[in-house]
Structure 1
Amino acid sequence: MLKIPELAMNRSRKITTVCNGVKRVWSDREDAQHFFLEAMMASDGEEHERNECIFIQLQNGLTYCTDED
């Protein structure tokens, strides 16, 4: 049986992230998640919060993820 996040996730593989003003287009969601998880674990303070914000949005299936409020 499928988990709820898999059912809710957008099937589009193309992801756009904007972190600290830098826009990046990803062809694979898993690559983006891996990048932001690594960045989150290797940082602290405000930088950690920015990466965490993007990572959570990726986990929730968004195709446009930003650290802006």
Structure 2
Amino acid sequence: MSGDALCVGVCMIDWDTGVCLGCGRTAEEIEGVPVVAPAPAAGGAPPLPANVAEQLGEGSD
């Protein structure tokens, strides 16, 4: 599995968050179940994260 490069040898799932405390992946990601990427917003590209927008600006239409 190509995602094994992320493994640090500490496999312990925090069942409250569903994330491995070692590598930060979910159980589904560790097992190789494909994770569907979120669909783009109906208005086109999704908005920039706030920290990026502060540095770059929102752009122009």
* TM-score in same-fold range (> 0.5): no
Larger RCO, structure (CA 8 Å, separation 6 or more): 1
Point out the structure with max Rg over C-alpha: 2
- The structure that is strand-richer by fraction is 1
- TM-score (normalizing by structure 1): 0.25
Question: When you count helix as a share of all residues, which structure comes out higher?
Answer: 1
